[in-house]
């Protein structure tokens, strides 16, 4: 019986939040897209028409990975559907339950350090298919019971509660580090987080490491998970985690199943296991001999109150420095530090990469934009910013460009472009209008990373080759010929900057990323030993050398005089032949993976509406006074959402059965729904009326969401037709007219807001407008109009928010068949009214950031408060008296995490009623604010 007790918190969380992956996009691909599939015994790879070669490679990688028994978590195999998404410019991938499927974002990252120089498809496949293997083999014990009781979402909830997210991601990174060359476990950039904390002497509690912080830098669960999984495998063998996760997912033990399993199979407590792992890595990093360190100056003192970091410094003059700055309470922007102090040049437009370039008064960078309707479709467009005037131009539209650089004369931009078929090209643009001058493609190059102008006829770039090597190379602008400057090798290279015939860059060496430059005239490589765990973004001009050093407080600017920099010559052999990372063993699968043969399966067409209902999960719920049970369905391409449900109302003892479906594959969403309610009862003219009620609706809506410049925008337009039929029954059935009633409901909403930072409770700037209109078509002469607006303004201090709300609702006849949609002043009960006017003022602010918890169950990240004032006026047409309702008070919110993973916000409200109305005196009131599934950011 003890094991079933642990289901109680699981079910509670299931009722509070959805378990669908955040990355899923409903109806996100253009209607014109056609799909094909490759079917194998391990996976069905679904891909856009014309993407056959990429799909074959993914299928080949999966076949190879599935054969590596050394890392097996078990023998269970459930075939998965994998959808290749080539439309987004974002680099990502995920595996989800509900339904069980995976989606691969096929555009590579522009950053060589994350993920790496490895073929993106190979690394993505190894990592995500590891998640498939995890879900396949955790179907044990109580996790299996939850799957039978609640379907795939219930199974995912049980597994995620038993096996922490650090294992899911750490194990996947460990797999990619052993099975693929240049997996992230071999990269100092990926490993830099914990060594930075250890070097600074910061000793955070385990719960803070697990749950993060809104004020301090804390490594994420990928970093933590890789270290623990790697250590456990090194100390106890490859099958160590197989045994642990088998027992944990079966819930062997009352509470903390994974912790108990670690103790059972390692012979030491979970706490000692963690500490031993950290001590092991501390010893490895202490063995690193930094040699002769550079004498550098911190440009800024580290901000110990708010996490703040600085990247990509460029010397504008002997006394002025340009750089990029971001923090937990400031949006990313371009800043200049000069003799007069620091000033903001301009906030950066929303971007998915941090890189930018500067030359002769011009900044050039790539910014992110998205398609309004088709959410999978996104772009990277080129922006040019004039440092002198602060004016910015957008010179490309609906493009897929990354890491641009501008020529000395400001007339040409070189950038990497990625086509929908995955091919990378070195592209040259007219800086005035963004037109393409020429594009260079080389079949041996996977990706042209970080291109920089050497002169008018030569561009230097880091090439990611198809054999998973990298090299700095010079590319002829006109002929496209390539000449390697460094030999192709496994050494990961990035962050190129060029000045006076010297190519500055960062490269991996042992357990650090160090600064290097190559002198083209001398044909000699030099290294600069630096303090810290990694140095990045080096640039040199006006006899100053600038870079960012990674610390426990993030990237911090360093500066020294070039003449004082102690550069040391380094042979090219020593540069390309060095061991990096913490994985010292290998399964030697790299060659087989990179040369894997595609399966013999013949690509076939795949219909968008394959398995349109695809019921995958079912869930009970209770919301006073209703009990419900709902079955959920989504097809694999996520263009249909289906629900079947049963509801029992304990107040009026009615039973309702119904269903709904939404199709999102066309420009408008199309929704259909129907439900039938049994045994409705009501008294009319002192007579009991009994009836069954049938409600139906059909609707269309156009949900538009897009990102551009510095704001997110949302426009929703929709109309629904509702039809209700009553079927009288009982002894008085013939004494009442059977109701047949229909009405239309229309709505338009518009929202625009700026990016939020980690500490922002609400956007510093933004607004939202919502209008709705409902009107009867027969039986009643009734209509209702509603309009509401929200305005977000900055408060007195950072992370403070002033939120102003206003709403008006008016009913156009005495027959008010539509319920209220306007909230009354807090503390008062709502009432039926012909007209309602409401205004609210809220001032939200953080109180403190405790970063503490107990028992690995509850963690408190932030305590925040809100001071409010509400005003409502309500009236009826025949009433001479108008009700004026006012209240004021304060709210305390707790932003928490439960079981180290699930964010929940709940709070308490205390207020005073300022207006006396019949049946409700002026008095204080106290309320509990129910938890929500998302903490506002």
Confidence of residue 2 (pLDDT cuts 50, 70, 90): very low
Indicate whether 314 and 246 sit together in one domain: no
Secondary element (H or E) of residue 282: helix 270-286
Indicate whether 190 and 322 sit together in one domain: no
Threshold 0.95, pTM exceeds: no
Indicate whether 107 and 202 sit together in one domain: yes
Bigger pLDDT: 288 or 461?
A: 461
The answer as to whether 379 is a domain residue is: yes
Mean pLDDT over residues 230-241, rounded? 92
Mean pLDDT of the chain: 90
Say how far apart CA 427 and CA 433 lie, in whole Å: 14
Confidence of residue 937 (pLDDT cuts 50, 70, 90): very low
Confidence of residue 931 (pLDDT cuts 50, 70, 90): low
The answer as to whether 604 is a domain residue is: no
Domain boundaries, position 81: 20-258
690-723 pLDDT, tens digit each: 999 999 999 999 999 999 999 999 999 999 999 9
Say how far apart CA 799 and CA 335 lie, in whole Å: 20
Closest CA to 648 of 678, 673, 683: 678
Mean pLDDT over residues 446-456, rounded? 95
Indicate whether 319 and 453 sit together in one domain: yes
Q: What token pair was written down for 864?
A: 């925040």
Quick one: pLDDT at residue 295? 65
Indicate whether 377 and 481 sit together in one domain: yes
Indicate whether 237 and 353 sit together in one domain: no
Give the list of residues 6+ apart from residue 749 with CB closer than 8 angstroms, or none. Answer: 714, 715, 716, 768, 769, 770, 771
12-57 pLDDT, tens digit each: 444 444 444 456 789 999 999 999 999 998 999 999 999 999 999 9
Quick one: pLDDT at residue 285? 85
Q: Taking 70 as the threshold, does the pLDDT of residue 836 lie above it?
A: yes
Indicate whether 413 and 527 sit together in one domain: yes
Q: What is the CATH number for 699? A: 2.40.160.50
479-530 pLDDT, tens digit each: 999 999 999 998 889 999 999 999 999 998 888 999 999 999 999 999 999 9
The answer as to whether 630 is a domain residue is: no
Length of the chain as a residue count: 937
Q: What is the CATH number for 441? A: 2.120.10.30
Q: What token pair was written down for 385?
A: 């910013």
The answer as to whether 641 is a domain residue is: no
Indicate whether 146 and 209 sit together in one domain: yes
CA atoms within 13 A on the CB side of 468: 20
Closest CA to 770 of 716, 726, 817, 820: 716
Indicate whether 230 and 342 sit together in one domain: no
Indicate whether 310 and 252 sit together in one domain: no
Confidence of residue 543 (pLDDT cuts 50, 70, 90): very high
Indicate whether 721 and 791 sit together in one domain: yes
Q: What is the CATH number for 134? A: 1.10.390
The answer as to whether 771 is a domain residue is: yes
Say how far apart CA 809 and CA 817 lie, in whole Å: 14
Mean pLDDT over residues 424-447, rounded? 95
558-602 pLDDT, tens digit each: 999 999 999 999 999 999 887 776 765 555 555 566 566 777 788
Among the candidates 205, 233, 258, a domain finishes at 258
Give the count of domains, the chain.
Answer: 3
Confidence of residue 116 (pLDDT cuts 50, 70, 90): low
Among the candidates 576, 607, 632, a domain finishes at 576
Quick one: pLDDT at residue 245? 96
Q: Taking 60 as the threshold, does the pLDDT of residue 287 lie above it?
A: no
Among the candidates 546, 576, 606, a domain finishes at 576
Indicate whether 242 and 306 sit together in one domain: no
The answer as to whether 495 is a domain residue is: yes
Give the percent of the chain with pLDDT over 70. Answer: 92
The answer as to whether 52 is a domain residue is: yes
The answer as to whether 653 is a domain residue is: no
């Amino acid at each position: 019986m003890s094991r079933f007790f642990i289901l109680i918190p699981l079910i509670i969380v299931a009722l509070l939040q959805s378990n669908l992956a955040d990355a899923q996009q409903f109806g996100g691909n253009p209607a014109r897209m056609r799909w094909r599939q490759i079917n194998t015994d391990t996976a069905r790879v679904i891909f856009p028409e014309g993407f056959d070669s990429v799909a074959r490679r993914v299928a080949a990688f999966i076949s190879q990975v599935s054969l590596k028994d050394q890392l097996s978590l078990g023998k269970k195999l459930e075939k998965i559907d994998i959808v290749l998404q080539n439309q987004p410019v974002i680099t990502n991938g995920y595996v989800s339950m509900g339904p069980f499927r995976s989606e691969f974002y096929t555009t590579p990252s522009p950053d060589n350090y994350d993920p790496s120089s490895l073929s993106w498809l190979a690394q993505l496949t190894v990592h995500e298919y590891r998640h498939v293997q995890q879900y396949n083999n955790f179907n044990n014990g109580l996790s299996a019971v939850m799957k039978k009781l609640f379907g795939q979402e219930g199974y995912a909830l049980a597994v995620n509660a038993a096996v922490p997210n650090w294992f899911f991601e750490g194990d996947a990174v460990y797999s990619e580090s052993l099975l693929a060359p240049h997996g992230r476990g071999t990269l100092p950039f990926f490993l830099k987080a914990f060594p930075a904390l250890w070097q600074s002497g910061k000793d955070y509690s385990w719960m803070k490491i697990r749950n993060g912080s809104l004020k301090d830098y804390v490594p994420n669960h990928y970093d933590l998970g890789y270290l623990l999984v790697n250590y456990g495998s090194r100390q106890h063998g490859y099958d160590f985690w197989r045994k642990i996760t088998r027992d944990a997912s079966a819930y062997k033990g009352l509470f903390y199943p994974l912790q108990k399993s670690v103790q059972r199979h390692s012979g030491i407590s979970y706490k000692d296991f963690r500490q031993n792992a950290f001590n092991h890595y501390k010893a490895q990093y202490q063995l690193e001999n930094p040699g002769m360190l550079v004498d550098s100056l911190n440009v800024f003192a580290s901000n110990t109150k708010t996490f703040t970091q600085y990247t990509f410094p460029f010397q504008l003059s002997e006394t002025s420095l340009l750089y990029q700055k971001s923090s937990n309470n400031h949006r990313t922007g371009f800043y200049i530090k000069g003799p007069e102090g620091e000033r903001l040049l301009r906030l950066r437009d929303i971007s998915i990469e941090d890189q930018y370039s500067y030359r002769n008064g011009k900044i050039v960078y790539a910014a992110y934009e998205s398609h309004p309707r088709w959410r999978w479709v996104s772009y990277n467009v080129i922006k040019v910013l004039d440092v002198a005037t602060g004016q910015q131009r957008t010179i490309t539209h609906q493009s897929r460009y990354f890491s641009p650089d501008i020529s000395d004369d400001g007339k040409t931009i070189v950038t990497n472009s990625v086509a929908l078929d995955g091919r990378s090209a070195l592209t040259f643009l007219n800086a005035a209008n963004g037109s393409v001058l020429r594009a260079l493609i080389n079949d041996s190059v996977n990706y042209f990373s970080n291109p920089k102008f050497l002169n008018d006829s030569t561009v230097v770039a880091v090439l990611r080759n198809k054999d998973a090597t990298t090299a700095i190379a010079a590319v002829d602008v006109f002929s496209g010929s390539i000449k390697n400057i460094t030999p192709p090798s496994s050494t990961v290279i990035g962050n190129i900057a060029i000045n006076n015939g010297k190519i500055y860059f960062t490269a991996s060496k042992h357990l650090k990323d160090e600064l290097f430059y190559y002198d083209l005239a001398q044909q000699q490589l030099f290294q600069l030993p630096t303090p810290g765990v990694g140095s990045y973004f080096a640039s040199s001009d006006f006899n100053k050398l600038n870079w960012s050093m990674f610390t426990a407080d993030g990237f911090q600017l360093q500066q020294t005089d070039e003449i004082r920099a102690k550069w040391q010559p380094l042979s090219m052999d020593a540069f390309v032949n060095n061991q990096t990372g913490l994985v010292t063993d290998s399964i030697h699968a790299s060659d087989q993976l990179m040369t894997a043969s595609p399966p013999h399966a013949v690509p076939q067409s795949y219909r968008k509406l394959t398995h349109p209902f695809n019921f995958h999960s079912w869930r009970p719920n209770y919301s006073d006074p209703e009990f419900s049970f709902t079955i959920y369905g989504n097809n694999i391409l996520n263009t249909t959402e289906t629900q079947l449900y049963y509801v029992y109302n304990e107040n009026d003892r009615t039973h309702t059965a119904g269903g709904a479906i939404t199709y999102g594959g066309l420009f408008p969403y199309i929704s259909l729904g129907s439900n039938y309610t049994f045994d409705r009862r009501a008294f009319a003219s002192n007579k009991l009326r009994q009836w069954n009620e049938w409600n139906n609706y059909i609707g269309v809506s156009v949900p538009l969401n897009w990102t551009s410049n510095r704001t997110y925008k949302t426009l929703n337009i929709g109309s629904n037709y509702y039809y209700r039929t009553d079927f009288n029954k009982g002894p008085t059935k013939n004494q009442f007219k059977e109701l047949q009633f229909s009405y239309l409901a229309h709505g338009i909403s518009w929202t625009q807001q700026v990016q939020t930072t980690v500490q922002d409770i609400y956007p510093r700037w933004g607004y939202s407008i919502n209008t709705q209109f409902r009107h009867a078509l027969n039986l009643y002469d009734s209509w209702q109009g509603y309009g509401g607006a929200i305005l977000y303004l900055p408060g007195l201090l950072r992370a403070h928010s002033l939120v102003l709300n206003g709403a008006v609702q008016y009913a156009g006849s005495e027959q008010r068949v539509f319920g209220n949609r306007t909230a009354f002043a807090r503390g008062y009960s709502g009432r039926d009214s012909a007209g309602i006017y409401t205004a609210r003022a809220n001032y939200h602010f953080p109180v403190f950031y405790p970063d503490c918890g107990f028992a690995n169950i509850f963690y408190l990240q932030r305590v925040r408060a809100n001071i409010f004032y509400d005003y409502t006026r309500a009236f009826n047409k025949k009433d001479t008296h108008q009700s004026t309702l006012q209240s004021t008070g304060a709210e305390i919110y707790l932003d928490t995490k439960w079981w180290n993973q699930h964010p929940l916000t709940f709070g308490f409200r205390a207020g005073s009623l300022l207006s006396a109305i019949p049946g409700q005196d002026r008095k204080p009131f106290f309320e509990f604010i129910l938890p929500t599934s998302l903490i506002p950011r």
